Amino acid sequence: MKFRSNDMFILLFFMVMIPVQVLSQDHKCWNIFRGDQALKGVSIFKLPEKPVVLWTFQTDDQIMSSPVSCDDKIVFGSGDGFVYCLDISGKLAWKFNTGNNIEASALILEGSVYIGNLDGSLYSLDLHTGYQNWVYYTDNQIIGSPNYWKIGEHTSILVGSYDYFLHCVDASTGKMKWKYESNNFINGAAACQNGVAVFGGCDGFLHMVDIKTGSLRDKLEVATYVAGSAALSGNYAYVGDYDGQFTCIDMKDQQITWQWWDENTYLPFIASPSVIEDRVIIGNHNKYIYCFDKSSGELIWKFNTGSRLEASPVVAEQKVLVANMRGDLFILDLQNGKELWSYESGNPVYGTPAVIKNRFIVAGTDGYIYCFGERR
């Protein structure tokens, strides 16, 4: 194909004007609870071959927040109302009192921490000192992780609330840019891709909202209640629901491509899925973690973990890391679902593990953070 000079100018103009998705992970970071803005749940790092507990850190209440990590810092919230920041060796760097229970996961971005609590406050804190940059108030509790989107030099923070709104806030100032109203509570995080925020909620719809304007692009009814977050891959969104259905949605054609459910249980999908290559992986309340062909919905394998699954899986280098509500941790082979490693912590795990270089971090309802790695 040949371009005239004017054609090339037009092409370059549109390339500059299209918002660019910034990759969340670099050589040190797992800065959001699912690893990237599309919430795929995939790490660029390898899991340790023979993990052992390297250290633990205790808070004063249960931890439901998923830990995140960047710049050799580990950040998470606790039921005691504090945001904690640890160094890579497990030593406390700082803690910040938000005044209310924290179940939401944090986002680390460009030297700041963004995190919400159950009184509906969204905080921006300095990653290195813990000092408050700003606080933004919604009208009900925040359960899901913030996400972000950059257009030029401007960064937006997006977070859902039980006030029914998806809020878009300026990352630097904490001032509201817009808010989009759904029809019920927003429990999960919004996945961000190609300038669109995609999320489900208690209204049973998958909403697709223009991040620049806050206007609705489209919405599609998928269930009565969506508790988790969707994962995005290409034109497709993958999401589980409280009715026990797992759905693949074609966002371009606005239709359901396939749905799957276990006819024997119909128990909820609370966890969010992982999407990698031709596969999608998710855990269910019926104790099983499932692996599907992401195009056809064909079940490839399933693994019985022995207890309910609410924590979302993480895929790293052809292995799947998963934790259940009995406190069991498993590493499974992505290809066939065979168990490669297991550990009994004895306490339920709600949050997604953070997979970073040479180790992974898990939070428990006993109030402990566990760091796994290999002894040297």
For 30, which DSSP code?
B
| Same-domain status, 249 and 360 | no
Residue 130 within any structural domain of the chain = no
d(CA 257, CA 217): 19
Q: Within a domain: residue 300?
A: yes
Strands 314-316 and 42-43: parallel
Measured CA to CA, the distance from residue 50 to residue 283 in angstroms comes to: 23
pLDDT in tens, 226-267: 999 999 999 999 999 999 999 999 999 999 999 999 999 999
77 falls within a domain = no
Residue 306: DSSP 8-state: S
pLDDT of residue 354: 97
Walk along the chain (376 residues) and give the pLDDT tens digit of each residue.
Answer: 333 334 433 333 333 333 444 445 554 689 999 999 999 999 999 999 999 999 999 999 999 999 999 999 999 999 999 999 999 999 999 999 999 999 999 999 999 999 999 999 999 999 999 999 999 999 999 999 999 999 999 999 999 999 999 999 999 999 999 999 999 999 999 999 999 999 999 999 999 999 999 999 999 999 889 999 999 999 999 999 999 999 999 999 999 999 999 999 999 999 999 999 999 999 999 999 999 999 999 999 999 999 999 999 999 999 999 999 999 999 999 999 999 999 999 999 999 999 998 899 999 999 999 999 998 7
Q: Please report which residue ranges of the chain form alpha helices under DSSP H.
A: 5-17
The domain in which residue 325 lies consists of 46-66+278-376
Q: Are 177 and 286 contained in the same domain?
A: no
Extract the tokens encoding 45: 């790092």
Q: Which of 369, 376, 288 has its CA nearest to residue 61?
A: 369
CA gap 230, 211 in Å, rounded: 16
Q: Which of 238, 271, 304 is the last residue of a domain?
A: 271
My answer on whether 245 and 308 are in the same domain is: no
- Domain boundary among the residues 210, 242, 271 is at 271
Task: Write out pLDDT tens, residues 33-62.
Answer: 999 999 999 999 999 999 999 999 999 999
Could you give the dihedral angle defined by the CA atoms of residues 340, 346, 349 and 355, in that order, rounded to the nearest 10 degrees?
Answer: -40
Q: What is the mean pLDDT of the chain?
A: 92
CA-to-CA separations, 345 to 164, 179, 304, 327, in angstroms, rounded:
36, 40, 17, 5
Which pLDDT belongs to residue 323?
A: 98
If DSSP states are collapsed to H, E and C, what string results for 62-80?
CCCCCCEEECCEEEEECCC
Q: Give the Cβ contact number of residue 141 at 10 Å.
A: 20
- Both 216 and 286 in one domain: the answer is no
Phi, psi of 35 (to 5 degrees): 95, -30
In a domain, 298, yes or no: yes
Q: How far apart are CA 330 and CA 327, in angstroms?
A: 10
What's the CATH number where 236 sits?
2.130.10.10
Together in a domain, 191 and 211: yes
Closest CA to 106 of 180, 175, 159: 159
Two tokens, residue 132: 């408050």
Task: Give the largest CA-CA distance in the chain.
Answer: 67
Number of domains observed in the structure of the chain? 2
pLDDT of residue 28: 67
**Residue 54 within any structural domain of the chain:** yes
